[in-house]
Structures are given as structure tokens and as C-alpha cells.
Amino acid sequence: MSENPTTHTPIAVGDGAAIPHKSDAGLFTAWRIAFFGSILLCLFLAFGRPDQYLAIFKFIPDGILVTFKVTVGGILLAIVFGLIAGLGRISSNRLINGAASLYVEIIRGVPLLVQLFYIYYALGRFVKIPDIVSAIIAMAFCYGAYMAEIFRAGIQSIPKGQMEAALSLGMSRRQAMRQVILPQAFKVVLPPIGNEFIALLKDSSLVSILAVADLLRRGREYASESFNYFETYTVIALVYLIMTLFFSKLISMMEERLNEGR
């Protein structure tokens, strides 16, 4: 692993928030303005207009926690699904390859909202699992398909010579994959996984339709009883924005750290 592969194919997957790069000064400024601006706006609304806004901020914290749980649980499980399906997609075993491809094709062809309804209520028919777990499974099942494509592209982006070299050193294919290819592929897939994480964070708002008490649902509950629609959704949008901006920054920092190690 002393060889530094410099010709990674860039992977063009992702619809997450733009992850700021160090070199991108313009983006970086925009990030700062948006992030600190929305925090300041939240503080201003909570303490400057407490009669309208403070109650909203008091109502939503448990929703933020649920959104966070669904997102983190969803992404971790999606990575597991994605890795398995991604390896399946490059497998030379036709059965495994076919099954993995079928999974990816089906999931990518059905809208996430439909999948959520389907998995949530279909699971409910057969097994008794808590709502939040169903939501996480549904999210992970969907994102796993996209993740599989990322892993497949990431693994395929590692030059063939790496595998050949590992095999000629006497490693088994499995060993080579685990110890040579995957560690390198991980660096390649990290940015797109970061993108998926941000996208999943935003899409997690869809679980509010399943009566999971996430951030958006808490906001809707508040608005539907107080009728302060404008104020409520202003706060909800700001909180989502702060969360996505925070995590996109975190991910870009992780990426830089990894690149330094090269």
C-alpha cells in the first residue's frame, strides 16, 4: 500500500448540499454567512420575539433528536446495505450479481415517499417493530441502493494493478479486497457518502408522514394547533439549515483530514 494512486476517477453521484472545499473561497464565505446568519436569526427570534417564537423552540427539541436518530441510524444501516449490494454488483457470481442489481434497480425506480409508506405499513402487517425502527429501515433500504452504486464505483476506481499486486503477494481475493482495495476505496467514497448523509438528513423529513415525531412533524403539530404557520415553518427551515450546514462542514473537515494522510 505504499503506492499512492493519484488517478482516481471522480464519482459524480449525490444531491446533497454542496460540501464546501477549502480551495473554494466563495463557497466558504457563503457557508459562514448562512450558518452563523441562521444561528443569529434563531437567537434573535427566540429572545427578540419570545411571545411568538420561544414556544416553538421549546416544542421542537425532541423532534430534532428523532430526526438525528433517523438520519444517523439510516446512514449507518444504508452503508451496510450499500456495501453488501455494492460488492454484489461487482461479484462474478451471476446469482449474487443479479440479486444485487435487481435490488438497486427496483429501489431506484420507486419514489422514496412511496417506499416509506410501503415498508412501514407492509412491515406492520408481519412484524411488530417500533415506528422509528421501521422508518430507519425504510430510509436505509432506499439509500442502500444509492450507496451500492457509490461503493461499486469506488471499488472500480481503484486501479486493477492493486488487486493484481495483492494477489501476486499471495493474498486471497477476499483478503485483498478487505486489506488493500476497500481501505483505498473508502477514501474515494467518503465525499459521496457525505453527500448522501446530507441528502438523507433532508429526506428524513419525509418520515413525518408516517407519524414519526421528527422535527417537521413537531412543527406541523405546533402549527396546526397555534395556526402560526409562517413563524413555525421559518423556525423549522432554519433548524434544518443549521443542521445540514453543520454536518456538511464536519464532513469536509473529515475529508481534508483524510487527504492530508495521503
Contacting positions for another protein (CB under 8 A): 121, 124-125, 128, 130-131, 209, 211, 213, 217, 220-221, 223-227, 229
Please identify, using beta-carbon distances, which residue of 98 and 124 lies nearer to another protein: 124
Please identify, using beta-carbon distances, which residue of 179 and 224 lies nearer to another protein: 224
H or E element: which one contains 94? helix 94-109
Burial 192-213 (b: 16+ CB within 10 A, else e): bbbbbbbbbbbbbbbbbebebb
Please identify, using beta-carbon distances, which residue of 27 and 123 lies nearer to another protein: 123
Tell me how far, at minimum, the Cβ of 220 lies from another protein, in Å: 5
The runs of H, that is alpha helices, within 110-203 are 112-126, 131-157, 160-168, 173-176, 182-203
Please identify, using beta-carbon distances, which residue of 61 and 183 lies nearer to another protein: 61
C-alpha cell at 58: 421549546
Tell me how far, at minimum, the Cβ of 21 lies from another protein, in Å: 39
Tell me how far, at minimum, the Cβ of 95 lies from another protein, in Å: 33
Please identify, using beta-carbon distances, which residue of 10 and 126 lies nearer to another protein: 126
Among the listed residues 209, 152, 208, the one whose alpha carbon sits nearest the alpha carbon of residue 181: 152
The torsion angles phi and psi of 214, rounded to 5 degrees, stand at: -85, -175
Tell me how far, at minimum, the Cβ of 125 lies from another protein, in Å: 7
d(CA 174, CA 167): 10
d(CA 63, CA 53): 16
Tell me how far, at minimum, the Cβ of 211 lies from another protein, in Å: 5
